[in-house]
Amino acid sequence: MANLLVAVSLLVGLTSAAGAPTGWTALPTKAPEPSANPGTPAKIELGKMLYFDPRLSSTGTVSCFSCHNVMEGGDDHRPTSMGVHGQLGGRNAPTVWNAAFLSVQFWDGRAASLEAQAKGPIVNPVEMGMPKLDLAIDRIKRITGYQASFQHAFGNDVKIDENTIAMAIAAYERTLITPNSPYDRFVKGDKKALTAQQQRGMQAFADVGCTSCHSGPNFSGPALPEGTGFFMKFPIYLDNPYVARYHLLDDGGKAVQTGKSEDQNVWRVPTLRNLTYTAPYFHNGLVKFIPEAVRVMAATQLNKSLSDDQVADITAFLESLTGEFPAQTMPRLPPTPGDMLE
């Protein structure tokens, strides 16, 4: 919790005493990458292949792309995602777009990096359903067409294992960023980039208190060292109709992972970028529309009831956070050998 208190203190300066927004920053045009896993064209291309390859799942039917559709918003528009054998997961799929700017991954922050996150769904019994990572590794090794790609990405003496698979996927995911939104252009000096309503919404976003959590260029909190995580309790205020209507207390959040009472209903703060592409909202995917999500957050996090005009203005501002998506193409995957067919 010490990290959380430090992070909150960093956010206080986002609004001046008069409420005027200060400290707004644009999304960088390149995501940070660890020195141990620099992105190269060969590694990124390999990671893209693995990201799209359903053979990493037990049934050969589910890939990273299945739940995180990079041809659109980086999620799947389901309240909770569908994995192997039609099973439904317990939480909404977070967008993969701009995930590289988060200091921890998953709603509960249990993965310290994109590399760590990439390993999780493969062995999740509901998601990709592999009993062990070793079985997924063995399958990739048996697809002989992958050998040259791994050598090109990591060198001739590469070991195909859970780490090189995860490193390649993470390298690809770090290319999935969406800069140059109208908001980004505005804070860089193009004062015509936002409409008058969006500018009012930007002011209201700060005045109401949204920046106490959703700050920084990714609107997911301050930039913190990888593995630190920026978390908030949700919901905080319970005396409103939204808590019961949207079952906001049903999932214990971070506490499910840690078993600690202080982590009950604590969540990693999500990005607010590209919300027009990522409905439904929240960890359980039960809110379908941005204006309703704004009302829910104001009531449960700030104990405030907003006017229709405030909601409309803030919604317009949030829509200005939709950036430019780099073009994506489906990769050609290496062929499945006959001895893998049933």
**Catalytic residue positions, numbered:** 127
> Tokens 């960023």 — which residue?
177
Tokens of 44: 């990124």
Report helix, strand and coil shares of the chain as percent, to nearest 5.
40, 5, 55
Name the helix (H) or strand (E) containing 309. helix 308-319
Of 98, 105, 119, 95, the C-alpha closest to 229 is 105
Strand blocks (E) in the chain: 231-233, 266-268
Integer Cα distance of 138 and 143 in angstroms:
9
Tokens of 189: 């000096």
Nearest-10 Cα torsion for 120, 74, 257, 9: 130
